[in-house]
Amino acid sequence: MTPWWIRIPILFFLIFGLMEYFVDSGDQPAFIKYPVAQFFLLMILLILIAIELIVKSIENVMFQTLSKDAQERYLNTQAKAWEWKWGRQMYKKLLGSRAIEEEGEIILDHNYDGIRELDNKLPPWWVYLFYATILFGVVYLARFHVFNDYDQTLEYEMEVAEAQAAIEAYRKTAKDLVDVNTVILLTEASDLSAGKAIYETNCLVCHMADGGGGIGPNLTDQHWILGGGIKNVFRTISEGGRDGKGMIAWKQTLKPAEMAQVASYILTFQGTTPANPKAAEGDIWVDENAPENGPVESASDSTTVAMNE
């Protein structure tokens, strides 16, 4: 039997934990995301208190019906329950100290001006902990110095690889989280074919199927009016071109993931020769961050996420 002021919080947090575990609420805890969850928790708390009160009053009524003798016995068992006997004994054992009354048995016989010494044993909790460290040390030595399981470099590399896989997986599920700062060049065939489909429904009229240009500029050369590279192209598609030129902002129509796909698709035009190329407009765009100051190449885009920096 635990007292009510332990029982109620334990049950409450148990239910709270279960709720958080089973209610899928993304990054936020459920009780913040869904206000109704707060109401639910409040109800749970009230119900728990109500149950306690009801049980208490039933106990009270039953107690009144007992005979004097039985009442006394009942009170005795109540008192014992409060003591948490086992826990106390264990605590005492682990402390291993002698009661003050028994100290006479372990007192040493030297005496320095009235200062005397007790021959206490080491406390068992400390001794067991010490044995545990020895055991740990032996296992550790065998595992890492005899059998060379793995070293820190390998451990680090494994963790980085795991994190990278997690980032990849996350990108797959959360493609729409990209914006102009985080967009990277997509190279997977599925993304590029999705980009191609978007291009052919929305952009082809002005830029031509092969990117040669018409109303819109040529997308196959290294000249860019508004800047090349995945980030600039993404921004142009999202925010549109200069006023009055005819290139609208596509962010109303296309999702971020779709803009990243079509931007990546456009960049595959680089270096191809269209049937009717429009004359180059704008400046040759050079990726400042690319190694060797080479021409813009989709493969050497500087915007891939740099790890471990």
Instruction: Tell me which residues touch ligand HEC (CB under 6 A).
Output: 202-203, 205-207, 215-217, 224-226, 233, 236-237, 241-242, 245-247, 250, 262, 266, 282
* Cα–chain center distance at 73: 55
CB of 237 to ligand HEC, least distance (A): 5
CB of 294 to ligand HEC, least distance (A): 19
User: Using only C-alpha atoms, what is the Rg of the chain?
Assistant: 37
| Closer Cβ to ligand HEC, 19 or 226, answer by number | 226
- Tokens for 237? 């598609």
- Smallest CA-to-CA distance from 278 within 214, 233, 226, 232 is with 214
| Closer Cβ to ligand HEC, 56 or 242, answer by number | 242
CB of 232 to ligand HEC, least distance (A): 7
| Closer Cβ to ligand HEC, 31 or 261, answer by number | 261
* Cα separation values, 91 from 111, 123, 131, 165, 258, Å: 32, 11, 19, 47, 64
| Closer Cβ to ligand HEC, 76 or 253, answer by number | 253
Angle subtended at Cα 243 by Cα 242 and Cα 246, rounded to the nearest 5 degrees: 85
CA–CA separation, 231 vs 179, rounded Å?
Answer: 9
CB of 228 to ligand HEC, least distance (A): 7
Angle subtended at Cα 166 by Cα 31 and Cα 307, rounded to the nearest 5 degrees: 115
CB of 189 to ligand HEC, least distance (A): 19
- Smallest CA-to-CA distance from 182 within 241, 263, 248, 253 is with 263
| Closer Cβ to ligand HEC, 103 or 210, answer by number | 210
| Closer Cβ to ligand HEC, 16 or 285, answer by number | 285
Q: Which residues contact 210 (CB under 8 A, 6 or more apart)?
A: 220, 269, 272, 274, 275
Q: Which residues contact 195 (CB under 8 A, 6 or more apart)?
A: 186, 258, 261, 262, 263, 264, 265, 266
| Closer Cβ to ligand HEC, 16 or 269, answer by number | 269
CB of 186 to ligand HEC, least distance (A): 14
- Tokens for 235? 């921004």
- Which amino acid appears at position 215 of this protein? I
Give the end-to-end CA distance of the chain in Å, rounded to a whole number.
Answer: 56
| Closer Cβ to ligand HEC, 19 or 185, answer by number | 185
CB of 226 to ligand HEC, least distance (A): 3
CA–CA separation, 29 vs 24, rounded Å?
Answer: 9
* The length of the chain, given as a count of residues: 309
CB of 266 to ligand HEC, least distance (A): 6
Tokens 């009942």 locate to 74
